Amino acid sequence: MFVKEAPQMAELFRLDLPSDTHRRIVHVDMDAFYASIEMRDAPEYRKKALVIAHDPRKTGGKGVITTANYVARQFGVHSAMPAMEALRLVPRQLLVFKDPDFEKYRAVSQQIHAVFHQVTDLIEPVALDEAYLDVTGNTTFSNTISLAIWLQRTIEAKTHLTCAVGVSYNKFLAKMASEYNKPGGRTVVTPDVVAEFLADQDIGNFHGVGKKTLPKIEAMGIHTGADLRNESPQELQRRFGKMCFVLAQHARGIDDRPVRVREAKSIGKERTYNPPLQTDAAVQNEFVRLADMVFTAARRKERHGKTVVIKIRDVDFTTLTRRVTTETFFDSSEAIYDAAWQLWLELGGLRKSLRLVGITVTALAPITFENIDLPLTPGSVRGDRQREQLAPEETE
């Protein structure tokens, strides 16, 4: 009897294929990035349990933790946790809340990416503090370990921040390697040690095993990488569907996903304020400044866009966004400001003090040419120059 799914199943569980080991992938993960920047800039935070979040005592209990330093983590504080939980877990004399400053964090991230670009242009950002680098084609360094050491030392020299680095032949293993020895560590996983490296790894560390999946997998008696490798792929497929193939591959050190260079879909700048902005004049000044920053960043990347978006957040943490799209590209900081300010006026102006203002330009395209209006009246300089560019036989 012919079973339609049989060929797919046979292909799905071909796990005996040789893994592609020729690539050299580096995963860089900054250590407690936002908190480390704040400790760098204010050394008095270093012995405190620093939590990057709005103080819930000032927000009516609202807010989520962006990140925390390692002192706070010792008390069980982690990112995405309600900020109120930090008050419960950490002794009050140690606990410090710091409002996030994403403008500053983005600026430091740009410094780090500038270091990345010195060794490769094949960079896949995961977040401001994390990226994959494909350095297969780099011939400047004698080996990838030397390159990884250089990255860590150069990033620390330029930013005074540390990072963990994982080196292997694919993204999955490079990520596992960087997580293996944090903070500040460096781990290299070569093809001959993959089985040993993965065998003792907690199953919760594997990509694709989230909070909902973890208890279901552990109920099967799978707690480590070795358990996962020894489990029947067919049983995994029956329990978890398509995800099982990825898990079965990862358990064998297989991951052929390329490092993908992502084109920016938008360019934006935003800033949080403490104290909040309390007048329309103050808001207007910030719109002018942010519009100039967005335009400068867009020109640096040789991009322009047709959509402007504003984002505001008031003292009650109500967040609003508005956007406008035009038929032509915004070609100056003034044009961006004008669009943003008009959106602000349409919102009704200042009603409550603002904690955050942001401007973003989207619908980006490369700047491949400039639209120039050429006067056609006789005697104009550009009109004459236009005629001079005609073919000789047309002017003689």
Q: How far, in whole angstroms, is CA 329 from its chain's centroid?
A: 26
Is residue 156 part of the annotated active site? The answer reads no
Which of 66, 97, 64, 70 lies closest to 82 in space, CA to CA? 64
| Structure-block tokens of residue 75 | 């008390």
| Structure-block tokens of residue 162 | 């540390």
| 72 close to 49: Cβ distance less than 8 angstroms | yes
Peptide bond into 56 cis (omega under 30): no
To the question of whether residue 227 is assigned a binding role by annotation, the answer is no
H/E element, 168: strand 163-168
Backbone angles phi, psi at 153, to 5 degrees: -70, -40
Cα 194 from Cα 251, distance rounded (Å): 9
| 113 close to 120: Cβ distance less than 8 angstroms | no
CA-only gyration radius of the chain, Å: 27
| Annotated catalytic residue within 38, 124, 130, 231 | 130
CA atoms within 13 A on the CB side of 343: 23
Q: Which amino acid is at 363?
A: A
To the question of whether residue 29 is assigned a binding role by annotation, the answer is yes
Kindly list the catalytic residues: 130
Q: Which residue positions form the known binding site? A: 29, 129
Binding residues for Mg(2+): 29, 129
